Chains A and B, each alone.
Chain A
Amino acid sequence: MNEYTILEERKDQIHRTGEGALDMACNRESLAGAVSQRACVFCGSRVVLYPIADALHLVHGPIGCAVYTWDIRGALSSGPELHRLSFSTDLQETDVIFGGEKKLEAALDELIDRHSPKAAFVYSTCIVGIIGDDLEAVCRKMSEKKGIPVLPVMSEGFKGSKREGYLAACKAMFKLVGNEDVSDVSPLSVNILGDFNLAGEIWIIREYFKKMWVEVVANITGDGRVKDIGRSHGAALNLVQCSGATLDLAKMMKEKYGKPYMRVSYLGIEDMADSLYQVADFFKDVDPDIVKRTENLVRDELSKLMPELARMRKDLEGKKVAMYVGGSFKAFSLLKAFRHLGMKVVMVGSQTGTKEDYAELERISDPGTILVDDANPLELSAFIKEKDVDIFVGGVKERPIAFKMGVGFCDHNHERKEALEGFEGMLNFAREIHASAMSPVWNFVPRRSKKAGE
């Protein structure tokens, strides 16, 4: 490995399991010039809030911020599709000089009249933070004028990384919670937090809960509705998926409404089943039969899934995987999922992992696994080469890195177009991994063809 591949200042953000005690530096600002894979605060808040389908999402800033986040995530809606449009105030030089508040106000006026949304989120961008537009005042004024919640999202890009954006999003959303009547909510009820309904995944999960007779009050935020969020405080339990994008909201609801929350994952076999069992366990005092219903559900699903997985496992046994994900919670589930396929995970990284996350990763991964925080293309490519991996799991920015080196790839971020959650999702996942790993094209890439000739 080129000695410069890893910059001195980044060495403590990389760890090899089994080689000394883990003392991972993380949650720090990205290093200038390191070509981080990370985005910004605005991105974090946009990811979380954007799937609320009957709200208006107005980006207050220059055009780029809105364009690059225009419908890029495939968060599906069963009804309105307002979230799939890209609204911007498209700030111009004169707005920067004289302030953008008037333009924002006019834009809100016009867009709320045109689309009659149930609420409006107004995202602050870098430049708004600098020119000092009073977003809160404009939103307050427009709320009164239009009679819907108009919520400022304080997401200036430079004020941290994606994680701070999650918090900004949760703060904005929390203003919606508690606005609706909850008298008809079932005692067996949950909110689904931190799922974005990519490729319709939330519909798979809701189906499971239906079979368990558990009411889902609000999807937060995939296929989300303003009204549902308004009554989400009526649910008995909050289920938080993902690496905490909506964990802050669950915490706020716990503090104000005393609602307990539970961290779950719908990815992979064990974690999916465990999550359902945990929910059943939570409600078993209210309805003892729920445990039986859940067991039946899991058994039925597994009896369909396992034979198919076994077939694919024959081909995949022993192949090596590297993954680089946004939040590391997902990595836990994927690591276990790959074990079901007989595959060996040799590198795990994340953009926003915490110390606890990396400790957990170290605990569950094989010795010699590379753990990395806030990586970049040169590091990732060096690890791919060193570990001679067969499959890389990541997002759009990682895909060409893998492909260029002749390595299979599975898109497992917000852009995926295949449902990967639940038991059916596990099957889709396995099929995708199998299809990529077993493609004959790898015979022709320089990395492999050279090996054959050696």
Chain B
Amino acid sequence: MTTKSKNFTSTTNACKLCTPLGASLAFRGVEGSIPFLHGSQGCATYMRRYVISHFREPVDIASSALGEKHAVYGGGPNLKKGILNVMKKYEPKIVGVATTCLTETIGDDVPMYLNEFNKEFGDLDLPDIVQVSTPSYNGTHMDGWHGAVRSMVEQLCTEKAEDDGHVNILPNMVSCEDVRHLFDICEDFGLKATILPDISETLDGPALEDYVKIPVGGTPVEDIKKMSGAAATIELGRCVPAKSGGTSLAERFGVANHRIGLPMGLRESDIFFETLEAVSGKKMPARYERERGRLIDAYVDGHKYIFGKRAVVYGEEDLVTGLCAFLAEIGVDVVLAGSGAKKKGMAEAISAVTEGVGRTTPEIHEGVDFHDIAERAGELKPDLLIGHSKGYRYAKVWGIPLIRLGFPVHDRFGGQRIPTLGYRGTQHLFDRIVNAMLEKKQADNPVGYGYM
């Protein structure tokens, strides 16, 4: 297995997003929360615009809207004023403050400002305020996401809560549909789950009569505060930073942290369900046995259509790892696995999840952009591309299918409802891949088989 790093100075068509975006999305998954970017107005507006194109939901992200004089004299006053305005307008239970490259570089001491704020306005009914440092020149949106999750756990969950037998799930940046599926699974195991963050409703809500200031749903702040009393934490993702929400709960309160991969594919899903069995003390409910059985049945039914096909996969490090785990099981050869992130242990993770079934060892490209991917893929001649919408123009040029998943999916409908997790999510993904190959075969064939 090789880890390639790029040789170019410039970045062309990046395969990552910036840290505050990940933090904003994670904050959006808390009940009564407003994400707040401490920086100039443009960041918040651009990110809202970007996020909206995937989720097709209102996404109100506040900003301290710093101007030139604030950049010189410091952004503290605007940060405080901004939070007060957000309180007036949105009446949030929690404000999630993330810094930007601007405020990180001018050296704004956000924890100090927030301390001052809490003292100055202590007579008001203040919301919880969580802050996370997210300089956008350091890492990717996934660092912002994991950072925000850890900040919430550390800043809100400060005391040991009574052990109530619930389980914490830190699901990683998965779709709204996936979060809903995780809740259902836990319920079927008889487990009460605190999923942090829970974007299942806040970023995929129902039609409403009125515009609600803050969408309903999200992880309740009270539940976050009680995460220290959980029976266990299940942290999804083999590339999660060494210090995370899960490790913090383990270190401070002794909550056992099970760090496992995203349940994608049979084997990684097995590990997830086994973990739930261990945590709940219950056997896997029959419906999941059946789902598992159907998945294996489908693997068999569809194997000939896809065996030996060459895939390029790209995107978030854990999603890519999960995809590699799954694709290895069905005989699709990942020839290149790319992520914009660096040094997240993706190579080791992919090696671990494909061990024993992977037919080939993929090239791993970290810190990659689409120019690098394209350059290499020209030689690797893939049959399909799997990742978010940004790969579209390359798929079009190469004349191969793009299986869209991850974030952003903004040239198709329903990106927030794409299932990927568990046996059921894997089934869905498997069907899509097989059908994409069948469609390609049909389209390329002069005969036009109508019976495949």
A450 to B78, CA, bound (A): 42
Collect the chain A residues with CB atoms within 8 Å of residue B393's CB.
Answer: 84
Q: Per a CB cutoff under 8 Å, which of A29, A41, A72, A405 touches B211?
A: A405
Which of B48-56, B171-179, B249-257 lies at the binding interface? B48-56
Task: List the A side residues contacting B158 at CB < 8 Å.
Answer: none
User: How far does the alpha carbon of A50 sit from the alpha carbon of B378 in the complex, in Å?
Assistant: 28
Contacting pair B89 A397 (CB below 8 A) = no
Decide: A4 and B89 in contact? CB cutoff 8 A: yes
Which parts of A372-397 form the interface with B (CB within 8 Å)? 376-378, 381-382, 384-385, 395-397
Taken together as a complex, chains A and B put the C-alpha atoms of A310 and B66 apart, in Å, by 49
For chain A, the bracket of interface size reads 35 or more
Which chain B positions have C-beta within 8 A of A157?
40-43, 102
The answer to whether B11 and A66 touch across the interface, beta carbons within 8 angstroms, is yes
Asked whether, in the complex, the Cβ of A126 is within 8 Å of the Cβ of B210, the reply is no
Inter-chain CA distance A159–B68, complex, in Å, is 5
Q: How far is the CA of A138 from the CA of B13 in the complex (A)?
A: 23
Select B207's contact among A66, A68, A445, beta carbons within 8 Å. Answer: A445
Residues of B within 8 A of A110 (CB): 8-10
Q: Across the interface, do A130 and B40 meet the contact criterion of CB distance under 8 Å?
A: no
Task: Give the residue of A72, A95, A159, A384 whose beta carbon is less than 8 angstroms from that of B137.
Answer: A95
- Is A435 in the interface zone, CB < 8 Å from B? no
Asked if A355 is at the interface of the complex by the 8 Å CB criterion, the answer is: no
Would A32 and B64 be within 8 Å (CB), given that A61-B101, A106-B9 are in contact? yes
Given contacts A61-B101, A88-B11, A377-B211, contact A32 B58 (CB under 8 A): no
B142 part of interface (Cβ distance < 8 Å): no
The answer, yes or no, to whether B47 is at the interface (CB within 8 Å) is yes
Q: Which of A5, A30, A41, A88 contacts B14 (CB 8 A)?
A: A88
- Are B211 and A158 in contact (CB-based, < 8 A)? no
* Residues of chain B contacted by A396 (CB below 8 angstroms): 49, 52-53
**Using Cβ atoms and an 8 Å threshold, which residues of chain B touch A204?**
none
Residues of A contacting B100 with CB < 8 Å?
126
Bound CA–CA A161/B68 (angstroms): 11
A87-130 interface bits toward B, Cβ cutoff 8 Å, 1 = contact, 0 = none: 11111110110000001001100110000000000000111011
Given contacts A36-B65, A88-B11, contact A7 B18 (CB under 8 A): no
Contacts of B14 in A (CB 8 A): 63, 66-67, 70, 86, 88, 90
With A7-B85, A90-B11, A378-B211 as known contacts, state yes or no: A68 contacts B40, CB within 8 Å. Answer: no
Judging by beta carbons under 8 Å apart, are A92 and B138 in contact?
yes
A158 & B66 in contact (Cβ 8 Å cutoff): yes
- A334 on interface, CB distance cutoff 8 Å: no
Within A1-46, the residues touching B (CB, 8 Å) are 4-5, 7, 29-43
Measured between beta carbons, the chain B residues less than 8 angstroms from A159 are 67-68
**Bound: A302/B23 CA distance, A:** 52
Q: How long is the Cα–Cα vector from A378 to B89 in the complex, in angstroms?
A: 8
B-side contacts of A111, CB under 8 Å: 10, 12
- Are A130 and B71 in contact (CB-based, < 8 A)? yes
- Could you say which of A88, A126, A377, A400 contacts B39, with CB atoms under 8 Å apart? A126
Residues B65 and A30 in contact, CB atoms below 8 Å apart: yes
Q: A404 to B52, Cβ gap below 8 A? A: no
Q: Note all chain A residues with C-beta closer than 8 A to B50.
A: 67-68
Chain A residues contacting B88 (CB-CB under 8 Å) are 4, 7
Residues B6-57 near A (CB distance < 8 A) = 8-14, 16-18, 20-21, 36, 39-50, 52-53, 56-57
Q: Residue B290 at the A interface, CB < 8 A?
A: no
In the complex, B81 has a CB within 8 A of chain A: yes
* Partner among B48, B63, B66, B135 whose Cβ is within 8 Å of the Cβ of A397: B48
Inter-chain CA distance A446–B432, complex, in Å, is: 34
How far apart are B82's CB and chain A's nearest CB, in angstroms? 3
Among B53, B61, B105, point to the contact of A35 (Cβ < 8 A): B61
Residues of A near B40 (CB, < 8 A) are 40, 126, 157-158
Asked if B83 is at the interface (CB within 8 A of a chain A CB), the reply is yes
In the complex formed, the residue of A with least CB distance to B77 is A32
Which chain B residues numbered 77 to 135 have a C-beta less than 8 Å away from chain A? 78-79, 81-86, 88-91, 100-102, 105-106, 135
Contact between chains at B211 and A404 (CB < 8 Å): yes
CB of A403 closer than 8 Å to a CB of B = yes
Q: Point out which of B64, B82, B102 has the most chain A C-beta atoms below 10 A from its C-beta.
A: B102
State the Cβ distance, A81 to closest chain B Cβ, in Å. 10
Q: With a CB–CB cut-off of 8 A, which chain B residues contact A222?
A: none
A91 to chain B, nearest CB (A): 5
A32 CB → nearest B CB, Å: 3
A384: chain B residues within 8 A (beta carbon): 211
Q: How far is the CA of A450 from the CA of B208 in the complex (A)?
A: 11
Q: Please state if B18 and A67 are interface contacts (CB–CB under 8 Å).
A: yes
Partner of A32, one of B47, B60, B79: B79
- In angstroms, Cα B228 to Cα A233, docked, is 70
> Does A126 contact B18, Cβ atoms closer than 8 Å?
no
- Of B42, B70, B85, B340, chain A has the most CB atoms within 10 Å of the CB of B42
Contact of A447 with B by CB under 8 A: yes
CB nearest neighbor in B for A56: B10
Which B residues lie at the A interface, using CB under 8 A? 8-14, 16-18, 20-21, 36, 39-50, 52-53, 56-68, 70-71, 78-79, 81-86, 88-91, 100-102, 105-106, 135-138, 140, 205, 207-211, 213, 340, 390, 393
| A-B contacts, 8 listed (Cβ < 8 Å) | A31-B85, A33-B64, A58-B10, A70-B390, A86-B14, A92-B138, A404-B208, A445-B207
A39-B45, A69-B46 given. 7 additional CB < 8 A pairs?
A33-B82, A36-B45, A39-B46, A62-B135, A111-B10, A378-B213, A381-B210
